[in-house]
Amino acid sequence: MTAIDPMTQKIRRILKDHGRLSKDADSLGAESDLYEAGMTSHASVNVMLALEGEFNIEFPDHMLKRSVFDSIASIGAAVGELQGG
């Protein structure tokens, strides 16, 4: 996944708006740990909500766990899976 991928761009914008990261979301690598970058579990819920709204998806409960939301790449994979792509 590269920086010009529109889905990744949207994910980065959502992280910027809702992730409460201590670093700029654009400076993070696809595999960087978002929790180590300062995202709290409370902030992660807002990220989940924004992702559900942006991509018109619903995360099933089994996906609502830390490992699914711990990096831009894993979020992208989850969103892609739910979009059937």
Partner 1 sequence: MTSNSPEFGAHLAALKALAAQVAAPNAADVDAKSRFPRETIDALQKAKLLSAPVPKEFGGPGYGMRELAALCSTLAQACGSSGMVLAMHYIQVACIARHAQSSEFFRGYLRELVEHQYVLASMTSENGTFGETRTSICAVERKDGRFKLDKDATTGSYCQHADGILVTCRRASDAPSSDQVLVLVRKGEYQLTQTTSWDTLGMRGTCSPGFKLESTGAEEQIIPGSFADSSAQTMVPYSHILWASLWWGIAADAVARAAEFVRGGARKNPGVVPPTANRLAEVSTQLQAMRHNWLALAAEFDSFLLAPTGLQDLLSIGWALKMNNLKINASDSAPQIVHKALQITGILGYKNDSKFSLGRHYRDTLSASLMISNDRIASKSASMLLVFKDN
CB of 19 to partner 1, least distance (A): 11
Q: Are 57 and 81 in contact (CB under 8 A)?
A: no
Tell me how far, at minimum, the Cβ of 69 lies from partner 1, in Å. Answer: 10
Residue 2 or 22 with smaller CB distance to partner 1: 22
Residue 69 to residue 84: CA distance in whole angstroms: 18
Distance of CA 38 to the CA centre of its chain: 13
Closest distance to partner 1 from the beta carbon of 22 (Å): 4
Contact residues for partner 1 (CB under 8 A)?
A: 22, 35-42, 45, 48-49, 52, 58-62, 64-67
User: Do residues 34 and 66 make contact, with C-beta atoms less than 8 angstroms apart?
Assistant: no
Nearer to partner 1, 10 or 20 (CB): 20
Closest CA to 37 of 75, 72, 2, 84: 72
In the bound state with partner 1, the residue whose beta carbon lies nearer, of 5 and 65, is 65
